[in-house]
Chains A and B, each alone.
Chain A
Amino acid sequence: MLQAILLVVAQTIVLLAVSPFIVGLIRKVKARLQVRRGASVFQPYADLAKLFRKQPVVSTTTSWIFTATPYILFASTLAAGLLVPVFVSRTPLNFAGNIIALVYLLALGTFFLMLAGLDAGSAFGGMGSSREAIVASLTEPAMILSIFAIALTAGSTNLSTIVHKTALLEGIVTDPSPHLMALAALFIVAIAETGRVPVDNPATHLELTMIHEAMILEYSGRYLALVEWAAGLKLVVFLTLIANVFAPWGIATSVEPTALIVGLATYLLKVSGLAVLIGVLESMFAKLRLFRVTDLLGVAFILALLGLVFFYVLRG
């Protein structure tokens, strides 16, 4: 029991600590590719600290939904993060929810963020919420299908079980194609869900293009800090999911100290690697028009479906 609690606390701390770093790393990579020096990778920590200390300005139009949303968003995203194995393959909270619960926990945050976007009464917020609604609805089917394909190959929908089995090389299908299809689909889904280029651009404040930034436009001070932190967390949750489900190399399958240290180190490497990849991709592509996003997410859906078909066809 004590060990379980300690592991949950450790996982919370790691997730909270890593997420600003990942955001900073992506920004750094993009800056380097644009031949700029860029801010330090630790800049997001300083930003958060600054925002926490600033006095928040709250619109007189808003209701309690506006001030409650940052906490709900933060809690739901972190709760989703606690369901994913990070550096230990057996997460203590495995029983609390499988991958569907994770998807819906993230949806809980999205729902309240959409409400908060509408609450201030400005057209920008409503625009953001409306766009978020369409992007979220298009990602969900692809996400469920890719989850299904993964669940089939691993024989489980519980993330811990999937990762643990894969790490111990149990029940691995010899043909990896369904897995690869699902990986590709899930990667596209992750990009769309976390609001990265080419679906959304986290660096823009232009009303023609912004989605996530439009929803949180009215936030300031500590509320903005929580929302930004939660956005970083969501990104890390998806990267962790992809890294550990498809490449659980090095993850600690027991709770011995050396295994834990190795697990933590490889985890940081893997997530940083994915962050660099995202930075490179963001520099290579331009943001898509909102109504072009349909095509991209359609591709994700088809990929996931093909993964499923391949699984059944290959298995006869």
Chain B
Amino acid sequence: MMSVLVTALLTCYAAGVVLPACLPRRPKLQNFVAHGLSAGAGLAGIVLGIVGLLAPAPLILSLPSTLPLLTFAVRLDPLASFFVLTISLAGLSASIYALGYVTEFYGRASIAVLGALFNGFLLSMTLVVIADNGFFFLIVWELMSLLSYFLVVTEHEKADVRYAGLFYLIMTHVGTAFIILAFFIFFQAGGSFSFETFRHPAQPLPDGMRTLVFLMALIGFGTKAGIVPLHVWLPYAHPAAPSHISALMSGVMIKTAIYALIRVYFDFLGGQFPWWWGFVVLVIGAVSALLGVMYALMEHDLKSLLAFHSVENIGIILLGIGVGMIFQTFGLKELAALGLLAGLYHTINHAMFKALLFLGAGSLLYATHTRNMEEYGGLLRRMPWTGVFFLIGAVSISALPPTNGFVSEWLVFQSLFLSFQLPTVFLKLMLPIAAAMLALTSVLALACFAKAFGMSFLALPRSAHARHAEEVPVPMRVGMALLAVVCVVLGIAPMVVVPLLDRVAAPFTEVSIEGKVLALDGWALAPGNVEFSSLSTPVLALLLVVLSMLGLGLVVAFGGLVKKRYYKTWGCGINLTPRMEYTATGFVQPIKRVFSTIYQPTLKLETEFLEESRYFAKRRRFEFHIEPIFQKYLYDPVVAFFTTMADRLRVVQAGSLHLYLTYIFVTLIVLLLLAV
């Protein structure tokens, strides 16, 4: 059963890569075939993921290769199945969405190439999470990075897209270098690239090497995940790609790094680590979450804003995993499982609502041809469906009850609260502070999405683009609707999700906490016990509906049925125009001012006065920037160092053939001397 599904999945994606190119050059047909096949693969992947999560034993498939050390081995344990499920859910929605969205690119880009890259990208991501051989993993990991690079530069005629692509390419390869080093340490100890020998090497890794693996993996995978300070590429690259690709990159590609981190720390290293590892992950998580949302607030490009929110949510996921690691060190297995479970829950939640929001942003781009939030406005009236789906995504990412984002953040809060069971006072004090940072993060996210939704969908249209926007075609709406439904289900049915996630976490913490987390026949979540804390999102959802009805009932009871009167908004005596509305920049101004230590804003106001009087301004110019601290103090020096080095080295590259022949000769002599 499972192997059939794996074959179906891989065949569909592979066909999706090959077939569009073989078809006649008819964009419509190519679009339909490519995205139809990826949707089919997505369906197979969803079933496979669920079956894999429920299967009693992992599925192992293996194909030998002619290269030494490389086998095309595939292993579907609960962890891999969970990620296959996540990737496939997002992949299916993005495929359906692409059927409509890609029409934008007819005549501008080759649909065959775009469709093939899309399928290849999904295929490589799926292979990354099911690979069972280090060599194979590195190949598909590299493939994933390259394919996503090509997708990022789809609109390569624009200079900023090329810059974003280059930035991404460099960063991801720096990350891959660290991953290769980490894997070589495993290889040295076990003599094979098989993940099984990574898990149980011939001689155990010494402590120093384990620490090295920890750091290498954190930097390597952290670059892909977008942890602070390695996040800088993310807000460039993710928005530059076509929107359905952005949805996959932000929703699921960065999650493959989370997968790999769990795989390395909990699986390969056996969940044995000193407490400071978990603490480092926790600190990185808290800092990424807070800085991610803070920079998101200052963004007025909707897609960049969403990209920064990915940094934030990766931070929240790492908070859960970090807490799990700390508890694991101290032998508090059940709490470790809880932290891990919270992190995993947030992983699938973020994949769903972030993909949804990116698809929503894509719809706005499709309808208005701009990403600048200041040019939207009033779109809820013109695009009611997109608006509702975007609102569901916004409420979920702001972690408001009873949505899925709230459930997972609540679980992270609970695992942070249970820190009083730890033996050291330092950690007991640090974890609550992390909780406070998470609280600040989530309320800033709320503010950010009030801004994003409010500026885009409410009030008057702020530009001609927004005034003439029209609702997007049906396939795009279906793609978003699917994700919106999944978001709602993940929120109000944790009793279905938690047992599945428990199966993922249980092998690593050697304890099943399903019975401990679910209380009252699954109607409530109660980590610890019902007396300590409990949450029932289905009941809260029901309560909200009933109480809204009560509100409606009270209105009718006290006031009867009255017809509303419609009238224009009071504009202080003149007619309201969009220029009188609050702007996104204005909206976040107080936040910018309060947190000016972090933003380091620079304001420039130049006023040109009339010659006759200094009381009348002729022209005003206003500029505002926030300091990109990491780029300025971390990346620019590194880049400057390499450019200077390259300049210095240029002397040896004079371009003269004679000189190069001399080099070869000298090298030969030196080598011969060494050989003797």
**Which residues of A approach B to under 8 Å, CB–CB?**
12, 48-49, 52-65, 67, 70-72, 74-76, 78-79, 82, 93-98, 100-101, 104-105, 107-108, 110-111, 114-115, 118-123, 125-127, 129-131, 133-134, 136-138, 140-145, 148, 151-152, 155-158, 161, 218, 221-222, 225-226, 290-291, 294, 301, 305, 308-309, 312
Asked if B532 contacts A75 (CB within 8 A), the reply is no
Task: For the complex formed, measure the closest distance between the CB of B205 and the CB atoms of chain A, giving whole angstroms.
Answer: 36
* A133–B417 CA distance with the chains assembled, in angstroms: 26
| Chain B residues with CB below 8 A from A130, complex form | 582, 586-590
Count the B residues whose beta carbon is within 8 Å of the partner chain — how many? 92
**Which residues of B approach A to under 8 Å, CB–CB?**
378, 380-381, 387, 395, 398-401, 406, 410, 413-414, 417, 420, 425, 428-429, 432-433, 435-440, 442-444, 446-447, 449-451, 453-455, 457-460, 519-520, 523-524, 526, 530-536, 539-540, 543-548, 550-552, 554-555, 558-560, 562-571, 576, 578, 580-582, 586-591, 593-594
Asked if A141 contacts B436 (CB within 8 A), the reply is yes
Given contacts A79-B543, A122-B570, contact A52 B555 (CB under 8 A): yes
* A142–B536 CA distance with the chains assembled, in angstroms: 25
* A71–B413 CA distance with the chains assembled, in angstroms: 29
Which residue in A121, A141, A152 is a CB contact (below 8 Å) of B459?
A121
* A309–B429 CA distance with the chains assembled, in angstroms: 7
Report the nearest B residue to A141, measured CB to CB: B436
Task: For the complex formed, measure the closest distance between the CB of B448 and the CB atoms of chain A, giving whole angstroms.
Answer: 9
Task: For the complex formed, measure the closest distance between the CB of A199 and the CB atoms of chain B, giving whole angstroms.
Answer: 13
Given contacts A57-B567, A61-B569, contact A137 B440 (CB under 8 A): yes
Task: For the complex formed, measure the closest distance between the CB of B581 and the CB atoms of chain A, giving whole angstroms.
Answer: 5
Task: For the complex formed, measure the closest distance between the CB of B118 and the CB atoms of chain A, giving whole angstroms.
Answer: 34
Asked if B534 contacts A61 (CB within 8 A), the reply is no
Given contacts A63-B380, A101-B401, A104-B399, contact A110 B571 (CB under 8 A): no
Asked if B533 contacts A118 (CB within 8 A), the reply is no
A–B complex contacts, Cβ < 8 Å, 29 sampled = A52-B554, A52-B558, A55-B562, A56-B565, A57-B564, A59-B567, A61-B460, A72-B548, A75-B545, A75-B547, A79-B547, A95-B524, A96-B539, A101-B410, A101-B540, A104-B400, A105-B540, A107-B400, A115-B450, A118-B450, A119-B454, A122-B576, A126-B582, A130-B587, A136-B447, A138-B594, A140-B440, A151-B417, A157-B532
| Chain B residues with CB below 8 A from A308, complex form | 429, 432
| Chain B residues with CB below 8 A from A74, complex form | 547-548, 551
Which residue in B443, B548, B571 is a CB contact (below 8 Å) of A140?
B443
* A12–B453 CA distance with the chains assembled, in angstroms: 32
Q: Which of A82, A129, A291 has the most CB of B within 10 A?
A: A129
| Chain B residues with CB below 8 A from A72, complex form | 544, 548
Our count of residue pairs bridging A and B at CB distance below 8 angstroms stands at 277
Asked if B568 contacts A61 (CB within 8 A), the reply is yes
Asked if B447 contacts A137 (CB within 8 A), the reply is yes
Asked if B544 contacts A294 (CB within 8 A), the reply is no
Asked if A111 contacts B450 (CB within 8 A), the reply is yes
A55-B562, A75-B544 are known contacts; what are 19 more A-B pairs with Cβ within 8 Å?
A: A53-B559, A63-B458, A71-B551, A74-B547, A74-B548, A75-B551, A104-B400, A111-B398, A121-B576, A122-B569, A133-B451, A133-B588, A134-B447, A134-B594, A143-B439, A152-B420, A294-B594, A308-B429, A312-B425
Report the nearest A residue to B432, measured CB to CB: A148
Asked if B453 contacts A115 (CB within 8 A), the reply is yes
Given contacts A79-B544, A130-B582, contact A104 B406 (CB under 8 A): yes
Asked if A107 contacts B432 (CB within 8 A), the reply is no
| Chain B residues with CB below 8 A from A155, complex form | 532
Asked if B582 contacts A114 (CB within 8 A), the reply is no
Report the nearest B residue to A97, measured CB to CB: B535
Asked if B401 contacts A114 (CB within 8 A), the reply is no
Given contacts A122-B571, A134-B591, contact A312 B428 (CB under 8 A): yes
